[in-house]
Structure 1
Amino acid sequence: MKKILVPTDFSKTAEHALKVAAQLAKTYDFEIYLLHLLELPLQEVDPLNAHSELPEAMFFMKLAHQKFEALMSKDFLKDIKVHETIKPDNSFSGIIDKCHELKIDFIVMGSHGVSGLKELFIGSNAEKVVRTSDIPVLVVKKEHADFHVYDFVFASNFKNECKHTYKQAIEFARLFDAKIHLLMVNTASKFITSKDAKSRITEFVKNTRFENYSINIYNDKSVEAGILNFASEIDADLIGISTYGRQGLAHFFSSNISEDLVNHAKRPVMTFKI
């Protein structure tokens, strides 16, 4: 993995994500592609055309460049290869298009921490990217002065359709030298015995050639509550989730999560598309 894309609107939230990306870049010699989507009235504006007949568009383009210059001069980006990218596009598909064009390995983006995971999983900018991204997305909800991943929760139903996403999770675990805590949440409505659950997980990880993991069956009132509560109990550094494209994370994180539970979920979340 060599390239990280960080979408930015030059907010503090976006800067939190960039700081995490910078730490990863310094540790693993990654390149950062800093992307700003410029919401122009006409999408056909050419950002490289200095003779544009749209002075308003060019004003916003120059303003974005000035903000880039201020951001790129910050100490935490020193000695890191950062590429400035502006795309005249106000749709979130523009982020994914740019990832494909640049052959990005994963996305790091910020999400407001005020509402915890509720903001992430219900209609936020981050969730819109997660819904459409076929590239892993690391969502950061607060500033991390020292970003590290020692304990990585990978929550799944451990069916065959998730094997591809688990292989991606293993890549990141190896990168961080992290332990993966395989987690199946047992609920009253979808009960499975511990014996059957362990058997399914054991079969799932067979031939993956990754030994630094634990198997965990956790009982809770809902899948989403179980994931968050388990992650809290082991003080996990990262939660990994498989997503189903445009369905987003609705099958894991539903609107009935209590405010108290959601507000305490401050951990980074990484998504992998099935």
Structure 2
Amino acid sequence: MKTKLLVPTDFTNEAHSAIQHAVKLGVIVQAEVILLNVVKDKSDIPAATTKLKEEEKWAKTVNDQIDVRSIVRVGNIFDDIGDAASELGVSLIIMGTHGASGWQKITGSYALKVITNSSVPFIVVQDQLMNDTGYDSIVVPLDLNNETKQKLEMVASIAHYFDSEVHLITPNESDEFLSNKLKANRIWAAKYLKGKNVKFTTQIVDDGDNLLEGVFKLSKKVEADLIAIMNLQKNSLMGVLGSSYQQEIIAIKQKFLYYV
């Protein structure tokens, strides 16, 4: 079955950026790109359909080899993006955000609500287009959740396609038990990436810094194109850190964020 990439669009520049990312990634992985617009009322469907057809044409200008189609759903963005992704069997959702302003006012907890309501991984992009070499540098904060191990597969796949270097980073935990668990996750992730022939580095957050500060510093140092947040559910370390962590991550300017 062909891989499917879903792009929710509100017809803004940021949405165009998301389409461009999806098309470039879709060509590489031989995926179908599906554009989605969620409207509040059935009467909005004709106008949305017309706009989506224009977006399909624009996607073809990025690369005319891409297989692209579009759909309109009546509902709300918080539920219907995730529902559409599940029903269509997509592998990845690529969504544009306005950073501090937000995709259709999706910021902070609103963006997190959209993302955490979906079981499908997200790449959230701002208005910067994907460069010709794709994602050269990927920063991956590791947490204590077991699903982190399962979902590192997508990061490895992206890194494989773009010949990216993956930078693993874990919190500097003073508790010996938690520190050992984080170390075990870091060792497992390194072994996994090595087995996939993916270039990688490992790092522990500097003394006195929290994970957010560590991610910021590392991302700036390696000029990260993508930050992979491995889990946003309440039972993960990312959830324990609180919603402000993800809100600040979402608002980073000129970064592309991959949520699993």
Report deviation, 1:84: 1.3
Q: Using the alignment, how far apart are the partners of 1:151 and 1:15 within structure 2?
A: 22
1:34-73 alignment, distance < 5 Å: 34-40=35-41, 57-58=42-43, 60-73=44-57
Structure 1 residues 254 and 129 mapped into 2: Cα distance closer, same or farther (>3 Å)? Answer: closer
TM-score, normalised relative to structure 2: 0.80
Identity of aligned residues (%): 25
TM-score, normalised relative to structure 1: 0.77
CA contact under 8 A between 2:27 and 2:66: conserved in structure 1?
Answer: yes
Report deviation, 1:93: 1.8
Q: Using the alignment, how far apart are the partners of 2:5 and 2:246 within structure 1?
A: 31
The amino acid of 1:178's aligned partner reads S
> Which string of whole-angstrom CA distances, capped at 9 and with x for unpartnered residues, describes residues 131-179 of structure 1?
1121110000122152611211111135544211223322222232222
The residue number in structure 1 matching 2:129 is 144
Structure 2 gaps of 5+ residues are none
Q: Name the count of aligned residue pairs.
A: 250
Structure 1 residues 246 and 39 mapped into 2: Cα distance closer, same or farther (>3 Å)? Answer: farther
1:46-195 alignment, distance < 5 Å: 57-58=42-43, 60-74=44-58, 75-76=61-62, 78-114=64-100, 122-124=108-110, 126-144=111-129, 146=131, 148-157=134-143, 160-186=146-172
SS at match of 1:230: helix
CA contact under 8 A between 2:145 and 2:235: conserved in structure 1?
Answer: no
The amino acid of 1:102's aligned partner reads L
Structure 1 residues 37 and 254 mapped into 2: Cα distance closer, same or farther (>3 Å)? Answer: closer
Please say if 1:268 is aligned against 2:256: yes
CA RMSD of aligned residues (A): 3.3
Structure 1 gaps of 5+ residues are 41-56
Report deviation, 1:191: 8.3
CA contact under 8 A between 1:3 and 1:106: conserved in structure 2?
Answer: yes
Q: Using the alignment, how far apart are the partners of 1:122 and 1:135 within structure 2?
A: 19
Q: Using the alignment, how far apart are the partners of 2:228 and 2:68 within structure 1?
A: 27
Report deviation, 1:69: 2.5
Report deviation, 1:269: 0.8
Report deviation, 1:105: 0.8
Equivalent of 2:204 in 217, 233, 248:
217
> Which string of whole-angstrom CA distances, capped at 9 and with x for unpartnered residues, describes residues 104-133 of structure 1?
0100001113469xx876123x32221112
> Which string of whole-angstrom CA distances, capped at 9 and with x for unpartnered residues, describes residues 40-98 of structure 1?
1xxxxxxxxxxxxxxxx33x221112212222222225342111101111142211221
Structure 1 residues 159 and 85 mapped into 2: Cα distance closer, same or farther (>3 Å)? Answer: closer
CA contact under 8 A between 1:17 and 1:110: conserved in structure 2?
Answer: yes
Structure 1 residues 139 and 200 mapped into 2: Cα distance closer, same or farther (>3 Å)? Answer: closer
Which structure has greater helix proportion?
A: 2
CA contact under 8 A between 2:53 and 2:70: conserved in structure 1?
Answer: no
